[in-house]
């Protein structure tokens, strides 16, 4: 009788061990979840409603190319304060994000951000901004009103894009969600029209293709600056970090990847230009 009880007990213990092993194995096989955020300064279409589906497709592409990973969209934002709320939500930790460079420099330390890759919008390396207006301006336009879609981050504008000479009167940044409207206001000489407009390369091409807007004069240009950065948050990618970097760098090597690149307006995301990153970091540190 004692032997029977012992044998039965042993059988139950073995069964329990098998069950535990199976349960642990199942947990090991389950893909690890990584929160994904996209923040694009001043881009009116950078919202969950407008861009959520595209970012979900991007997350799905990452899942299919990085074994054991499950990337989940946590939000798409176009204002720094709104984006920061997502990063601060401890219930939904962010592991990786595509962010505008100003956000990276402002929160690099407190959010423990590491730049892994850099966008190449329309295939271009780096971003350069140009001032356009009714008259050409070749030097810092002290005290002038400048239209921009990025007024939510004046640190980026003043520390990197258009740095003022010492003791110069600062420019006044005027928010325009549609920079084409600002151009037409200048052409029509409307009351309250800005003096100049700050445009990136893509917007400048739109100006140059418009019969009216192409009459505006191109002037002062910024240095070539970082584009949007893919950043890791607090080392949360772990062993998946290298696989993500490889997947992003090779985005243009497959038909499926090319489609994702079109959605993101960047054919691939190579490693960031460290010299460029460090140059702008010095400007931020000097303030």
Under 8 Å between Cβ of 217 and 134: yes
Nearby residues of 240 by Cβ (< 8 Å), 6 or more positions away: 32, 34, 66, 68, 69
pLDDT of residue 106: 98
Give the span between the Cα atoms of 233 and 222, in whole angstroms. 29
Give the span between the Cα atoms of 249 and 266, in whole angstroms. 11
Largest CA distance in the chain: 104
pLDDT of residue 231: 99
Q: Helix, strand, or coil here: 211?
A: coil
Q: Helix, strand, or coil here: 2?
A: helix
Helix (H) or strand (E) holding 259: helix 255-264
Give domain 130-221's CATH superfamily. Periplasmic binding protein-like II (3.40.190.10)
User: Is residue 15 over pLDDT 60?
Assistant: no
pLDDT of residue 7: 45
**Would you kindly state where each structural domain of the chain is located, as residue ranges?**
30-124+226-286, 130-221
pLDDT of residue 22: 41
Instruction: Pick the range with the lowest mean pLDDT from 12-16, 146-150, 162-166, 245-249.
Output: 12-16
Length of the chain: 287
> Which of these, 79, 84, 108, 114, lies nearest to 96 by C-alpha position?
114
- The position carrying tokens 């070749």 is 138
pLDDT tens column, 240-265: 999 999 999 999 999 999 999 999 99
pLDDT of residue 72: 99
Average pLDDT, the chain: 92
pLDDT tens column, 70-128: 999 999 999 999 999 999 999 999 999 999 999 999 999 999 999 999 999 999 999 99
Distance of CA 252 to the CA centre of its chain: 19
- State mean pLDDT over 233-245: 98
30-124+226-286 topology per CATH: D-Maltodextrin-Binding Protein; domain 2 (3.40.190)
Give the span between the Cα atoms of 62 and 71, in whole angstroms. 7
pLDDT of residue 205: 97
Nearby residues of 170 by Cβ (< 8 Å), 6 or more positions away: 142, 143, 158, 164
Q: Is the dihedral of CA 191, 196, 202, 207 positive or negative?
A: positive
Tell me which DSSP letter residue 126 carries: S
Q: What percent of the chain has pLDDT over 90?
A: 89
The predicted model scores a pTM of 0.89
- State mean pLDDT over 185-198: 98
**30-124+226-286 and 130-221 share one CATH topology?**
yes
Instruction: Pick the range with the lowest mean pLDDT from 5-9, 184-188, 243-247, 249-253.
Output: 5-9
- The position carrying tokens 């810092």 is 140
pLDDT tens column, 26-77: 445 689 999 999 999 999 999 999 999 999 999 999 999 999 999 999 999 9
User: Is residue 190 over pLDDT 70?
Assistant: yes
> Which of these, 278, 282, 275, lies nearest to 125 by C-alpha position?
275
């Amino acid at each position: 009788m004692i032997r029977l009880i012992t044998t039965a007990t042993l059988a139950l213990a073995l069964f329990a061990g098998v069950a535990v092993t199976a349960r642990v194995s199942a947990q090991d096989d389950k893909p690890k979840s990584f929160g994904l955020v996209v923040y694009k300064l001043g881009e009116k279409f950078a919202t969950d409603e407008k861009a959520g589906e595209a970012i979900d497709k991007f997350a799905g592409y990452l899942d299919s190319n990085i074994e054991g990973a499950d990337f989940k969209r946590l939000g798409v934002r176009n204002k720094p304060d709104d984006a920061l709320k997502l990063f601060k939500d401890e219930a939904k930790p962010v592991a990786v994000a595509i962010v505008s460079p100003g956000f990276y420099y402002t929160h690099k330390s407190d959010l423990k951000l590491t730049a892994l890759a850099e966008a190449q919008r329309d295939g271009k390396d780096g971003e350069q901004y140009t001032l356009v207006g009714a008259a050409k301006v070749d030097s810092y336009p002290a005290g002038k009103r400048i239209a921009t879609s990025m007024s939510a981050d004046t640190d980026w504008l003043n520390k990197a894009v258009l740095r003022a000479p010492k003791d110069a009167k600062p420019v006044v940044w005027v928010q325009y969600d549609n920079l084409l409207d600002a151009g037409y206001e200048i052409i029509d000489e409307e009351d309250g029209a800005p003096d100049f407009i700050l445009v990136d390369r893509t917007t400048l091409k739109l100006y140059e293709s418009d019969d009216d807007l192409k009459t505006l004069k191109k002037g002062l240009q910024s240095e070539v600056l970082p584009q949007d950065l893919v950043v890791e948050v607090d080392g949360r990618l772990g062993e998946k970090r290298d696989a993500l970097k490889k997947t992003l760098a090779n985005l243009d090597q497959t038909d499926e990847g090319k489609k994702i690149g079109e959605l993101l307006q960047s054919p691939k995301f190579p490693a960031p230009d460290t010299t460029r990153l460090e140059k702008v970091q010095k400007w931020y540190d000097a303030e």
